[in-house]
Amino acid sequence: MADDSMYPADGMSRNYKDSTRTETKPNGGENEGSADNKPRIRHIHQTVLSSPTTDFIRNTIMPTLDVPGAILSYEVTGSGRYLLLIPGGGGTGHSLRNVRTLLANHYSVITYDRRGHSKSLLTGEQDYEHRLDTDADDAALLLQHVAKGEASYVLGSSSGAIVARTLLMRHAELIEKVVLHEPPLVRALPDDERVVQETNLKNLYNTYRKKGHVSAMKVFGEIYIAPEEAELLGMAPAENPYTHGNLQYWFERELLYPVTDVGYDELSRLKDKIIMVDSAIGKDLPPAKISQAMAAKLDLQLITMPGGHVGYVTHPQEFADSLTSLLG
């Protein structure tokens, strides 16, 4: 991971301590910043959960898996070869629900909430210096638990593709093929474009700190989402009651993922397991250009998937058909 120096000293993610209890609003009410311009992180993931709460989560209908410092909430749908879907920003398997249903006609599809998002709750201290490795190790533990060591297919999209790439680098034996759908690894870009995107990330974080995550997501959309895709998305974020808390957590804990080293040397040794993917919509936007650059550097065929950066939401049938064709 890059160090936190790319962010202003008064806005670094590591300034939030797990033991800090912040002002809360009932029912996840919207907060566009406080008097000191610092959003009040008001969802449960910032604190260590009490025993009654963890017991409740373990006893819900969805299966759960205890991992170091967290409880992962997951689902397995369908039958056949295992296919793990790793969600991107916002960290929730809910975003993959439509494409999961379609893929379940061909695979045993594993979806889950990444730790700290939605129903995958934190139960102890977190090592945020190695958060990306922890995310990848969570995915590995889930595969070991569900697939029982069988090499599986993996799809990661956006920051979920960064997690999937790290999963491959740390636990290659668990993966048959990994589809990397537009991982926003800005260091894959030429230097001039990399500097622009790193500046964009700083500005995005500063907008979040000063105006809140709703305003910051508008900025995110202007940079990374094609206008025609944005129109198709409509009011989708309001469908999940965890959305606002997930996005705040993502801004505080995962906005450094894009400035991680690409890891070309190790990926080159594992390239036979990699399927590199960009999108039909927005091929000139940063996420697609990163996929294009990585495919060229690794000497891999670049596959174009239907839709845009969140094509699994806007074009679920076409996306599922394309993925099924890729994996067989």
15: which residues sit within 8 A by CB, 6+ positions away? none
Which three-class secondary structure state does DSSP give residue 313? Answer: helix
Position 47 scores a pLDDT of: 36
Q: How far is CA 177 from CA 40, 77, 204, 259, in A?
A: 41, 19, 33, 24
At residue 178, φ and ψ (nearest 5 deg) are -125, 125
Average confidence (pLDDT) over 235-245: 67
Bigger pLDDT: 276 vs 36: 276
- Cβ atoms of 74 and 112 closer than 8 Å: yes
Share of the chain above pLDDT 90, in %: 66
Domain locations in the chain as residue ranges: 4-21+28-327
Position 61 scores a pLDDT of: 63
pLDDT in tens, 110-141: 999 999 999 999 999 999 999 999 999 999 99
Instruction: Tell me the pLDDT band of 18, cut-offs 50, 70 and 90.
Output: very low
Q: Across all residues in the chain, what is the average pLDDT?
A: 83
Q: Residue 213: pLDDT above 90?
A: no
Shortest CA distance to 205 belongs to which of 5, 64, 19, 49? Answer: 5
Average confidence (pLDDT) over 239-248: 82
CA angle centred on 69, ends 66 and 73, rounded to 5°: 40
- Cβ atoms of 277 and 305 closer than 8 Å: yes
Q: Residue 30: pLDDT above 90?
A: no
Position 239 scores a pLDDT of: 59
Q: Residue 163: pLDDT above 80?
A: yes
The strand pair at 70-78 and 64-67 is best described as antiparallel
Q: What is the DSSP string of 39-95?
A: ----SGGGSPPPHHHHHHHHTSSS-EEEETTEEEEEEEEESSSEEEEE--TT--GGG
Q: What is the pTM of this model?
A: 0.82
Instruction: Tell me the pLDDT band of 266, cut-offs 50, 70 and 90.
Output: very high
Q: What is the DSSP string of 136-168?
A: HHHHHHHHHHHHTT--EEEEEETHHHHHHHHHH
Q: In what order do the strands lie in the sheet with 274-279?
A: 64-67, 70-78, 108-112, 82-86, 152-157, 175-181, 274-279, 302-305
Average confidence (pLDDT) over 280-288: 96
Shortest CA distance to 160 belongs to which of 199, 102, 204, 113? Answer: 113
- Cβ atoms of 57 and 123 closer than 8 Å: no
Average confidence (pLDDT) over 199-213: 94
Residue 246 and residue 269: Cα distance in Å, rounded?
34
pLDDT in tens, 59-114: 456 799 999 999 999 999 999 999 999 999 888 898 899 999 999 999 999 999 99
pLDDT in tens, 218-228: 888 888 999 88
Position 231 scores a pLDDT of: 79
Which CATH number among 3.40.50.280, 3.10.20.30, 3.30.930.10, 3.40.50.1820 corresponds to the domain 4-21+28-327?
3.40.50.1820
